[in-house]
Amino acid sequence: MSNNLLVTILLSVLVYREATAATNRTFPDYFKFGIATASYQVEGAWNEDGKGENIWDHLCHTNPTFVDNGDNGDIACDSYHKYKEDVALLKDLGVDYYRFSLSWSRIIPLGLAGSPVNQAGIDYYKSLIQELGDNGIEPMVTIFHWDLPETLQEFGGFPNPELEEHFAYYARVVFENLGDSVTYWTTFNEPLQTCHQGYSTGTMAPGYKSSGLAEYKCAHTLIKAHAKAYHIYDEEFRPQQQGYVGIVADTTWFEPASDSDADQEAAERALQFNYGWYINAVVNGNYPAVMIERIDERSKQQGFETSRLPKFTEEEIEYIKGTHDYLAINAYTTVYAQAKEETDPTVVSYESDLNVDTFIDESWEQSASSWLRVVPWGLRNLLNWLSKTYNHPEIFVTENGVSDLGGLDDDRRINFYQEYLSNVLEAILDDGVNVTRYTAWSLMDNFEWARGYTEKFGMYSVNFDNPGRPRTPKASASYYAQVIASRCLVDTCE
Ligand code: GBH
């Protein structure tokens, strides 16, 4: 037998063991378990009780080939009408908190600063929060999870700096109306997806392809809008409401393809271009140095008078720095990152600004989502990277989950949660990473953006053919309930 083959076999045995052995230790007392959804993905009632149109309504209605099967979120899981049932499911799971988002155009139909507030929209969220409270479940509220009012898109959306004022107005309205019963706020969910998928790859609404250009302007405004909302909370609401405000960013874990300096740097650069783009800003006040250097330099080579990456003024840096009360991560998967030759310097794109090759190990389990391979150890590495990079903060895992094509006996989902949670626990107990919350995605099957209703992430199945949208627990719902009740991942706990 060749040495290479021997090594491969030994490695696969090790990887296999690592992938299947869940720890029998227990989660600390302070650790909280939750589960998440987002407004457009579950609410439906797209034009009821005064709700305005948003960019996903608009995209689905005007460009039905964008989403698989021409599906849309007009009804989705009908949570607008069925929120009491949703809360009953949450109660069955025994979660400490429910992470959900507000629909901006349900609350402010036109989205514009100074434009009318829709009382029915406010009332819906008050009722949901009340119902959660009555059942002992804490609300964790995301102010924006991708459903921008269409009117604001007509004004240019996020790349237009005015968006900051519109968002500030919206944030003040929600703090004012809902803040008495909310302790944890998130301004934006996954700004990377809003700006990169929305304005660069064009795979999310509004679907523009302006790589290396509009996406940087989008992020610039979004970060300033986040900071403004944070300061509004800090100055006008925190004294009475005593809550916490943060921003939720996501990244794939980029594992260096080798221990060469070049591959290590490539992986670090990819993390900075994905997660650091937003989080270095709210932590340290500016974009990661590697983004500034590379984009400034390439812009110059390309003959731009100023960098394609906009600049924060000194005042803005001071204003943005430290605008987060917790660090959050949405994490699903892993790729290998490898150094590559510098591409043609004339190419204007995010990908060539970043300049990293990625690949996967074909043996990693494939979920129903093309982008999502099951790589539990990647989450542990990512949590360690976050802790080290941002000076050992408190960390919330705000999304983690896996897709399949349906069915109630979702053993693969159970394995996913068992193995990923095992890595979270090892990060806490063995590596000293201060993770205090874990949020599963998602409570129920829902509108999975461009994939419509085909890819299912829920612990409850929803029958989308039945107008009543009945929910049925999957096996993973009982597993998660058991984990929460026992604070342990296996049957025989320590
Ligand atoms: C989360 O994003 C979202 O917050 C949530 O709304 C969503 O339902 C959940 O994931 C599951 O997808 O198809 O190749 O263009 C996770 C990060 C980044 C995953 C963009 C999907 C699209 C890759 N997402 N990615 S591709």
Catalytic residues: 399
Residue 160 in tokens: 């237009």
CA 361 to ligand 1 center in whole angstroms: 20
Q: Give the confidence band of 16 by pLDDT, cuts at 50, 70, 90.
A: very low
Is domain 3-15+30-486 annotated with CATH 3.50.50.60? no
% residues pLDDT > 70 (the chain): 96
% residues pLDDT > 90 (the chain): 95
Residue 88 in tokens: 């009953």
94 close to 485: Cβ distance less than 8 angstroms:
yes
Mean pLDDT of all residues belonging to the chain: 96
Q: In terms of C-beta density within 10 A (0-12 exposed, 13-18 middle, 19 or more buried), how is residue 34 classed?
A: buried
Q: Is residue 33 in contact with ligand 1, taking CB distance under 6 Å?
A: no
DSSP assignments along 392-445, one per residue: S--EEEEE----BS--S--HHHHHHHHHHHHHHHHHHHTT---EEEEEEE-SB-
- Ligand 1: nearest atom to the Cα of 451: 13
Q: Whose CA is nearest to atom 3 of ligand 1?
A: 190
Q: Give the confidence band of 7 by pLDDT, cuts at 50, 70, 90.
A: very low
Q: What's the pLDDT tens digit per position in 417-456? A: 999 999 999 999 999 999 999 999 999 999 999 999 999 9
CA 153 to ligand 1 center in whole angstroms: 21
Contacts of 280 (CB under 8 A, 6+ apart): 272, 286, 287, 288
pLDDT over 80 at 6, yes or no: no
Which of 77, 101, 399, 403 to mutate to test ligand 1, by most ligand atoms within 8 A of the CB atom? 399
pLDDT over 50 at 5, yes or no: no
- Ligand 1: nearest atom to the Cα of 201: 15
Q: Which helix (H) or strand (E) holds 142?
A: strand 138-144
CA 40 to ligand 1 center in whole angstroms: 14
Q: Whose CA is nearest to atom 8 of ligand 1?
A: 448
Q: Which helix (H) or strand (E) holds 152?
A: helix 150-154
Q: What's the pLDDT tens digit per position in 148-168? A: 999 999 999 999 999 999 999
pLDDT over 50 at 170, yes or no: yes
Q: Is residue 457 in contact with ligand 1, taking CB distance under 6 Å?
A: yes
pTM of the predicted protein model? 0.95
Q: What's the pLDDT tens digit per position in 450-470? A: 999 999 999 999 999 999 999
- The pLDDT score that the predictor gives to residue 19 is 47
pLDDT over 70 at 67, yes or no: yes
pLDDT over 50 at 337, yes or no: yes
Q: What's the pLDDT tens digit per position in 207-253? A: 999 999 999 999 999 999 999 999 999 999 999 999 999 999 999 99
pLDDT over 70 at 17, yes or no: no
* Lowest mean pLDDT, pick from 19-33, 90-104, 179-193: 19-33
pLDDT over 70 at 37, yes or no: yes
CA 358 to ligand 1 center in whole angstroms: 18
